[in-house]
Structure 1
Amino acid sequence: MTIDFNKGEGLVPAIIQDEQTLEVLMLGYMNAEAYQKTVSENKVTFFSRTKNRLWTKGEESGNFLNVVSIREDCDNDTLLIKVNPVGPTCHKGNRSCFDTAYNQNFIFELEKIIEDRYANPVEGSYVNKLRNKGLNKIAQKVGEEGVETVIAALNETEHDLINEASDLVFHLLVLLKEKNVSLEKIAHNLEGRHSGK
């Protein structure tokens, strides 16, 4: 990378984004030393302007920001760092320092929860009950929920439609996990269709 630390008197802004949900979690500043530490340890380290020292996010709380990727902008003076956060990012206990009213990309977080249920089964978990019944039952549930969504759209209230559509999306996510297909692959496919590729 050719990061221009001189423009900001030795500091560049670093935008921290959840790798899976794409939610912006916080903004901090890095000097060259903080950047190198971040790269070498794969945990986000900032230069704290108030403490006048390097500061690894989570060094006290344990809520580290594990680095997935780092990109610089077109002017080489701002970083976009995608992370897997451990716990809430904000010191006030919120998911994001920007305290958005709701997680706009919760569907990606739900995908992560389902992946975790597959990796770390929880007794009594609905995901694990479905998984134990196998692919045919999971696919059948997607079909059932699809029909129920259509019925709700034609004959029931908006509230009913939202509930049935939510059930459909949830079961579709379980089916995609069962087949090892990520939402990212679906998004790439849809983007390709949109752009005519």
Structure 2
Amino acid sequence: MNKMSDASHILNAALELAQAQDNWYDLSLVELADRCNTSIPEIHSHFADTNAIADAWFAQALEAMLFPGPDNIDHLPAIIRLEHIIWRWFEALAPYHSVTAQMLKSKLHPPHIHHWAPMVFDLSRLVQLWRDMAGLRAGGRRRQAEEIILTGIFLITLSAWCRDNSPQQSDAHSRLLNLLARAEKLGQF
């Protein structure tokens, strides 16, 4: 196997193991190495720790979000483009919904403050991508307002999504739709 397929194999095995144990926080690299029929040094050559594995999972969701949407999406209103783009990120994470929520909780664990700053930068990049992909081109204060509102919409939706046990996290999706509609009604997009 090449290095990429090894990393992909390790990521998938970590997700499956955490899901089977319903516990990301205590994921054992020893158990993961056994499951992958490899060694901890080999895992470490791909991922420094379980946080790096989680980052790889979120990177996959980002790639899914960036995948071109329907051909006519550029002709749709910005609010519909935003919903489509943002929800695609959540859909990519849905197969391991519970594990993903546990990853986020682990990153926010008070002793893990070293994870907080990278999360802020990642969130900022996500918001910028959403704006660009949705065709929002405002500058100045309007751009700042859009960024703040999109960040708030995302954080509220993410919180709802993490707790949502409805089929396909439909409650969180409804929450996203409602928040976007309210922002549009206030003339934000």
TM above 0.5: no
The structure where helix makes up a greater share of residues is 2
Higher RCO, Cα 8 Å, sep 6+: 2
TM-score (norm 2): 0.28
Structure with greater strand percent? 1
Q: From the CA coordinates, give the structure whose radius of gyration is larger.
A: 1
